[in-house]
């Protein structure tokens, strides 16, 4: 345990050390501060000329939102179209079929929203063509879009009168300067660990014992780096990072851990350099790290202790709860990784979360709901921004001042938008879970007819709630015993993913735009200081309060009930 | 809308070129220099090819057993059991696996059976077992293959993989490699 703790601390510090200079570099990229970056600059200029976009131009809020909506609509139509006809023979050596329309719609929404919830299995439900030209592509572009929005928000906070910038310019730069090179680098590491990168058809292997099995393969190493770097999380194979081809050994595990957290953390350093307010960024970094630690610890504690009902049978359970986990990572690092992916909505898994202990489910659900303890690339900042507004408002009320954030007065419209969006984010999964429960109850024969839940009772309830929270938060992991490839689940989670992505993004852009129009208030002694540890702690409390109040009753129905039943 | 359509289509075209054409081709080039030209690490034995990292089912008494798998080591449909920790069917299944293990391995105390040997992995393709899971099978294999137990113990020791830098993950054994070595004894 001691040695494991040292290893996990080391992993975390590697991420800090790598993301720091990366954040500095990002600040240069988005300030357009790079001089003499030969080849890339030339390529960029060509792209901008081709698109007839002036790289130093800027958009107003209406233009920005329209551009964002249009480009997403095009991605949706493009992906939807290909998934419907993927069953033809181009780059489809395994002969997998086309998708049914609700599944295709769910899959494409899932990937443009950077959620990557998958109701298909990569081995039999996708083709090489769709993996590369739909899923991998959408992982890149959705990540670049989130990053651009995040940058636009920060730009608005920089100076008064500063504008959002140009969506297309930020988008292209995110692709060429950040995601593309990092993905190539990570993929190279992965390929040399034995991850397949091939367009050959799957081979049939006869095992040593004489069993015959087809071994699914493909351009795996193209998809895996960006699924982590872009906080996407959709795996090439059905079992994501638990699959030996996606995660062959401990070295690949270490790389996975690093690149999931790398860009979300680098973004915080970026804020510090870009706003020239390192203290403010450090405060946010502190709050997020605290959240990550407090969410990871209970999961690790529960999983390494093992399942008491299995221990009762008299076997040796000292290696923890190993159901759904792989030997090469062990229960400690598997659950350590799950903690990271609950707070960062990559939501990749090295194990089957459905088989986790009930009390592990609570921190995972909280981590996803907050979605701002680091959170996704760009989207983490978006979520924490809502909490910042609420916390600054409450804090200023407490000391009897007009609410101010980073020198800008928070007015009524900003406050209404911020609370509205924050509440909606909590409400959507609750309402959808209620509807799902209602459908089960009203169907004659209930779950036996529908075949939704592989585990009954309290665990089954958690399964459904988890699915919707994960969809809304853009996380994409799930309790996989859910029979989720049905029209009901495909469409209802599509609604959750759609609102969970586009409502907060539109809201945050509007708030940031409104704030950017305001005059900077004078900083004096009486003003609430948002750079201090005190405010950080206060912000943390606000986050916990908002989320705990809304979901405590649900925990009582799901994971807590299962826990008490088990220990009874 | 119209003035947005054109740049949006253009930017998508640029992205398709970058990420669906240039990027995979570059990686194919890199993969050419990778292990087995980017087709996954291979073990060759008696004219047959096996993937090193894809686990195989071993259920015969003369081999070290691999872990139970929810998909029966079907490498074209990875999957875990996804059974919840309090699921009664699941708990009964574990009990049945323990009982079956004790029948096939007489003389082994129940408390020596490690949990990984009676639980299914996440991928259903776990290529490894724990060291203890190998040790607990030594008695059975020694009896059937008429080896001394010490020979098998040495074999296990030789095939035990240490944690990376002494830090990450438990000690483990690749079952396929161990069983090939066993056949070669």
Range with the poorest average pLDDT among A315-324, A431-440, A451-460, A517-526: A517-526
CA separation for the pair A470, A479 (Å, rounded): 10
| pLDDT exceeds cutoff 90 at A551 | no
Q: Are A40 and A177 in contact (CB under 8 A)?
A: yes
CB contacts of A208 in chain B (<8 Å) are: 45, 48, 50, 56, 58, 63, 176, 179-180, 183
Phi, psi of A450 (to 5 degrees): -75, -35
What residues contact residue A386 under an 8 Å CB cut-off, 6+ apart?
A418, A421, A422, A504, A507, A508
Query: Given B4, B8, B127, which is nearest A244 (Cβ)?
Result: B127
Element (H, E) at A203: strand A203-206
Residue with tokens 């367009």: A199
Q: A479 touching B, CB under 8 A?
A: yes
Q: Which residues pair with A213 in a beta bridge?
A: A205
Q: Calculate mean pLDDT across residues A273-302.
A: 93
pLDDT attached to residue A298: 95
CB contacts of B172 in chain A (<8 Å) are: 327-328
Our CA-based measurement puts residue B39 at a distance from the nearest CA of chain A, in whole angstroms, of 5
Which DSSP letter does residue B122 get? S
| pLDDT exceeds cutoff 90 at A46 | no
With the C-alpha atoms ordered A253, A254, A260, A261, is the resulting torsion angle positive or negative? positive
Question: A70 vs B1: CB contact, 8 Å cut-off?
Answer: yes
With the C-alpha atoms ordered A548, A549, A551, A557, is the resulting torsion angle positive or negative? positive
CA separation for the pair A369, A352 (Å, rounded): 20
Which DSSP letter does residue A481 get? T
Dihedral of CA atoms A53, A54, A55, A56 in degrees, nearest 10, equals: -150
Per-residue pLDDT reduced to its tens digit, A138-183: 999 999 999 999 999 999 888 766 688 899 999 999 998 999 999 9
pLDDT attached to residue A44: 84
Our CA-based measurement puts residue A357 at a distance from the nearest CA of chain B, in whole angstroms, of 6
Range with the poorest average pLDDT among A167-171, A245-249, A524-528, A554-558: A524-528
CB contacts of A352 in chain B (<8 Å) are: 80-82, 122
Here the tokens at position A551 are: 């979901």
Question: B169 vs A250: CB contact, 8 Å cut-off?
Answer: yes
Q: Are B71 and B78 in contact (CB under 8 A)?
A: yes
| pLDDT tens for each residue of chain B, 185 residues long | 677 888 899 999 999 999 999 999 999 999 999 888 888 888 998 888 899 999 999 999 999 999 999 999 998 988 999 999 999 999 999 999 999 999 999 989 999 999 999 999 999 999 999 999 999 999 999 999 999 999 999 999 999 999 888 888 889 999 999 999 999 88
Element (H, E) at B61: none
CA separation for the pair A460, A447 (Å, rounded): 10
pLDDT attached to residue A87: 87
pLDDT attached to residue B165: 85
What is the greatest pairwise CA distance in chain A? 78
**How many beta-carbon pairs below 8 A join chains A and B?**
352
CA separation for the pair A402, A8 (Å, rounded): 43
| pLDDT exceeds cutoff 80 at A437 | yes
CA separation for the pair A184, A136 (Å, rounded): 13
Which DSSP letter does residue B17 get? I
B38, B91, B129, B130: which to substitute to probe chain A, counting the most A Cβ within 10 Å? Answer: B38
User: How many Cβ atoms are within 10 Å of A176's Cβ, its own excluded?
Assistant: 20
Question: B121 vs A50: CB contact, 8 Å cut-off?
Answer: no
Q: Are B136 and B112 in contact (CB under 8 A)?
A: yes
Residue with tokens 């800027």: A58
Q: Calculate mean pLDDT across residues A511-517.
A: 88
pLDDT attached to residue A567: 84
CB contacts of B121 in chain A (<8 Å) are: 242, 322, 324-327
Our CA-based measurement puts residue B140 at a distance from the nearest CA of chain A, in whole angstroms, of 18
Element (H, E) at A405: strand A404-405
Q: Calculate mean pLDDT across residues A199-221.
A: 90
Cα atoms in the Cβ-side hemisphere of radius 13 Å centred on A181: 10
B5, B19, B159: which to substitute to probe chain A, counting the most A Cβ within 10 Å? Answer: B19
Burial class (CB in 10 A: 0-12, 13-18, 19+), A111: buried
Our CA-based measurement puts residue B78 at a distance from the nearest CA of chain A, in whole angstroms, of 6
What are the b/e assignments for A42-55, b being 16+ CB within 10 Å? eebeebbeebebeb
Among the listed residues A147, A326, A336, A182, the one whose alpha carbon sits nearest the alpha carbon of residue A247: A326
User: How many Cβ atoms are within 10 Å of A444's Cβ, its own excluded?
Assistant: 6
pLDDT attached to residue A161: 63
Domain ranges of chain A: 2-202+215-277
Per-residue pLDDT reduced to its tens digit, A382-397: 999 999 999 998 888 8
| pLDDT exceeds cutoff 80 at A1 | no
- DSSP annotation string for A126-148: --HHHIIIIIIHHHHHHHHHHHH
Question: Which A residues in the span 122-181 are in contact with B, Cβ-Cβ below 8 Å?
Answer: 123-124, 132-133, 136-137, 140-141, 144, 168, 171-172, 175-176, 180
Query: Given B41, B45, B77, which is nearest A238 (Cβ)?
Result: B77
For chain A, give the mean pLDDT: 90
Searching chain A, which residue's CA lies closest to the CA of residue B116?
A322
């Amino acid at each position: 345990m001691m040695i494991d703790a040292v290893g996990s601390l080391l992993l975390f510090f590697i991420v800090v050390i790598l993301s720091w200079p990366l954040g500095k570099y990002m600040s240069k990229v988005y300030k357009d501060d790079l001089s003499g970056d030969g080849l890339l600059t030339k390529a960029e200029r060509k792209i901008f000329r081709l698109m007839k976009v002036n790289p130093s131009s800027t958009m107003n809020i209406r233009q920005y939102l329209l551009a964002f909506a249009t480009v997403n609509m095009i991605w949706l139509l493009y992906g939807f179209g290909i998934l419907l006809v993927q069953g033809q023979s181009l780059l489809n050596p395994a002969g997998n079929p086309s998708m049914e329309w609700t599944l295709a719609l769910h899959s494409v929404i899932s990937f443009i929203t950077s959620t990557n919830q998958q109701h298909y299995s990569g081995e039999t439900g996708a083709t090489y063509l769709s993996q590369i030209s739909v899923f991998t592509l959408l992982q890149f572009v959705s990540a670049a879009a989130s990053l651009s929005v995040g940058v636009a928000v920060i730009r608005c906070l920089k100076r008064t009168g500063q504008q959002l910038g140009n969506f297309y310019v930020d988008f292209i730069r995110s692709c060429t300067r950040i995601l593309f090179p990092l993905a190539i680098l990570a993929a190279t590491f992965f390929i040399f660990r034995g991850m397949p990168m091939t367009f050959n058809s799957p081979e049939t292997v006869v095992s040593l014992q004489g069993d015959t099995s087809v071994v699914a393969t493909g351009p795996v190493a193209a998809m895996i780096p960006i699924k982590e770097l872009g906080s996407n999380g959709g795996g090439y194979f059905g079992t994501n990072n638990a699959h030996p081809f996606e995660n062959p050994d401990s070295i690949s595990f270490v790389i996975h851990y690093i690149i999931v957290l790398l860009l979300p953390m680098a973004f915080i350093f970026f804020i510090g350099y870009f706003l020239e307010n390192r203290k403010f960024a450090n405060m946010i970094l502190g709050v997020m790290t605290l959240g990550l630690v407090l969410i990871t610890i209970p999961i690790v504690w529960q999983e390494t202790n093992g399942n008491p009902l299995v221990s009762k049978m008299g076997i040796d359970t000292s290696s923890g709860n190993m159901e759904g986990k792989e030997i090469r990572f062990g229960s400690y690092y598997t659950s350590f990784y799950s903690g990271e992916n609950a707070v960062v909505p990559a939501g990749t898994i090295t194990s089957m979360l459905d088989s986790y202990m009930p009390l592990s489910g609570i921190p995972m659900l909280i981590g996803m709901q907050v979605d701002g303890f680091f959170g996704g690339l760009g989207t983490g900042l978006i979520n924490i921004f809502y909490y910042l507004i609420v916390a600054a408002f409450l804090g200023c009320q407490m000391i009897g001042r007009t609410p101010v954030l980073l020198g800008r007065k928070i007015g009524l419209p900003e406050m209404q938008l911020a609370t509205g969006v924050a509440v909606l984010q909590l409400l959507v999964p609750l309402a959808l879970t209620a509807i799902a429960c209602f459908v089960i109850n009203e169907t004659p024969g209930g779950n036996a007819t529908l075949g939704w839940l592989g585990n009954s009772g309290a665990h089954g309830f958690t399964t459904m709630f988890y699915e919707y929270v994960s969809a809304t938060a853009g996380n994409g992991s799930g309790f996989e015993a859910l029979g989720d490839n049905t029209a009901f689940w495909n469409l209802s989670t599509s609604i959750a993913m759609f609102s969970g992505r586009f409502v907060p993004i539109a809201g945050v852009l509007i708030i940031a735009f409104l704030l950017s129009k305001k005059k900077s208030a004078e900083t004096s002694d009486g003003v609430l200081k948002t750079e201090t540890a005190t405010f950080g702690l206060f912000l943390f409390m606000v986050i916990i309060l908002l989320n705990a109040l809304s979901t405590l009753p649900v925990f009582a129905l799901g994971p807590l009930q299962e826990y008490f039943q088990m220990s009874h | 809308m119209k003035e947005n359509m054109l740049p949006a289509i253009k930017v998508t075209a640029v992205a398709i070129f970058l990420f669906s054409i240039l990027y995979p081709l570059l990686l194919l080039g890199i993969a050419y220099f990778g292990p087995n030209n980017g087709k996954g690490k291979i073990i060759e034995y008696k004219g047959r090819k096996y993937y090193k990292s894809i686990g195989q089912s071993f259920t015969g008494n003369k081999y070290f057993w691999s872990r139970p798998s929810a998909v029966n080591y079907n490498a074209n449909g990875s999957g875990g059991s996804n059974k919840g920790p309090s699921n009664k069917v699941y708990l009964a299944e574990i009990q049945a696996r323990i009982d079956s293990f004790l029948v096939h391995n007489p003389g082994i105390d129940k408390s020596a059976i490690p949990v990984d040997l009676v639980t299914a992995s996440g991928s259903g393709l776990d290529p490894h077992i724990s060291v203890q899971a190998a040790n607990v099978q030594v008695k059975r294999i020694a009896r059937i293959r008429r080896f001394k137990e010490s020979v098998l113990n040495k074999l296990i020791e030789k095939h035990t993989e240490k944690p990376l830098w002494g830090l990450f993950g438990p000690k483990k054994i690749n079952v396929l490699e161990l069983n090939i070595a066993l056949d070669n004894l």
